[in-house]
Every structure is written in structure tokens, then in C-alpha cells.
Structure 1
Amino acid sequence: MTSQPTPSDPAAVALELERIRRTIEVGFTRTDGALALLVQRHDHTDAQIKQHAARLDALERARWPLPSLAALVGVTGLALSVWQFAR
């Protein structure tokens, strides 16, 4: 029959401390991996947001002449109508 080490046995205490240390190291490694994944996802999301902002800016820049052209065509049509009416 094997005897159980007593809690006051220095070898048992050292062994238990080593088990606790190993458990903590594994937990920290898992946490570090999860944090690294979150940072990578965050960076990817930031890059996507910047790309979407650039595309939106390009669309807004390309769209601004349309209302101006519509106003110009309207004013030209009005001027031609007044000119033909006055003639």
C-alpha cells in the first residue's frame, strides 16, 4: 500500500506548486492567444472601415456635379424659354 504524502511534506508542497504553476501558465497562454486573435480581428476591421470610408468619399466626390449640372440645365432651359417668349 502506498502512503499519501502529508500536506506538510516539502516534496508534496513543491509538487502541488508546480501543478498550480503549470495550470496558470496554460491559462495565460490561452488568454494570450485569444487576445492576439482579438487584436488581429480589430486590425482587420479598422482596415475595412478605412476602405469603406475611402470608397464613400470617392462616391461623394463623383456625385457632387450632378446637382450642379441639373441646376445649370434648368437655368439654361429657363433662359431659352424666356428668350423664345421675348422674340
Structure 2
Amino acid sequence: MTETDRNDPVTVALELERLRGTLEAGFARADGSLALLVQRSDQTDKQLADHEARLDALERTRWPLASVTALTACAGFALAFWQTAGK
């Protein structure tokens, strides 16, 4: 290609069109990657909310265990004391 061919308006227009196509393809690929990241982020947010709800449910059901254990220990102590005092 000679210097006059490179400065030809038709050649310049064709090269610009090729660059435009390359840029559009690159932007489309980047757009797709960003959409995938947003989708994964949304899934992670839903999963985190689910884990939070499950953890809250576990915490609510766990507190009676300590109370039941303390009541059982007190009842056992009272029974042992009653048996010892009765002899």
C-alpha cells in the first residue's frame, strides 16, 4: 500500500469502520462480563440473606437450651438434697 492509498478517503472510512466493529465487539464482550458479575452478585446477596435468616432461626431456638439445662440441674440438686435430708 502506498502513501496515497492510505490517505484515500475510502480507505480511511473502511479502516474506521473496522475499528468501530472491533470496539463494538470489545464493548459487547465487556458488557456481557459485567452482566454476569451483576448476576453472580445478586445470587450471592440472596444466598447471604438466606444464611442470615437461617442463623437467626438457629439463634432463636438455641436460647432455651441453657434455661432447660439450668432447670434440670436445679431439679437434680433439689432431688439430691431432698433424698439426703430424708435419710
- Name the TM-score class by shorter chain: 0.7 to 0.9
User: What number of residue pairs does the alignment pair up?
Assistant: 85
Cα drift, residue 30 of structure 1: 1.1
**After superposition, what is the alpha-carbon deviation per residue over 1:38-82, rounded to whole angstroms, capped at 9, x for unaligned?**
101110111011101111110121111112101110011101211
Question: How do residues 6-45 of structure 1 correspond to structure 2 at under 5 angstroms?
Answer: 6-45=5-44
SS at match of 2:5: coil
The answer to which structure has the higher helix fraction is 2
Stretch moving more, 45-54 or 5-14 = 5-14
State the TM-score, normalized to the length of structure 1: 0.88
Q: Tell me which amino acid in the other structure corresponds to 1:39.
A: V
Q: Tell me which amino acid in the other structure corresponds to 2:27.
A: F
Cα drift, residue 37 of structure 1: 1.0
Identity of paired residues, percent?
59
Runs ≥4 residues deviating over 4 A: none
Q: Distance in 1 between matches of 2:22 and 2:72?
A: 76
Runs of 5+ consecutive residues of structure 1 not aligned to the other structure: none
Q: Distance in 2 between matches of 1:15 and 1:8?
A: 12
Runs of 5+ consecutive residues of structure 2 not aligned to the other structure: none
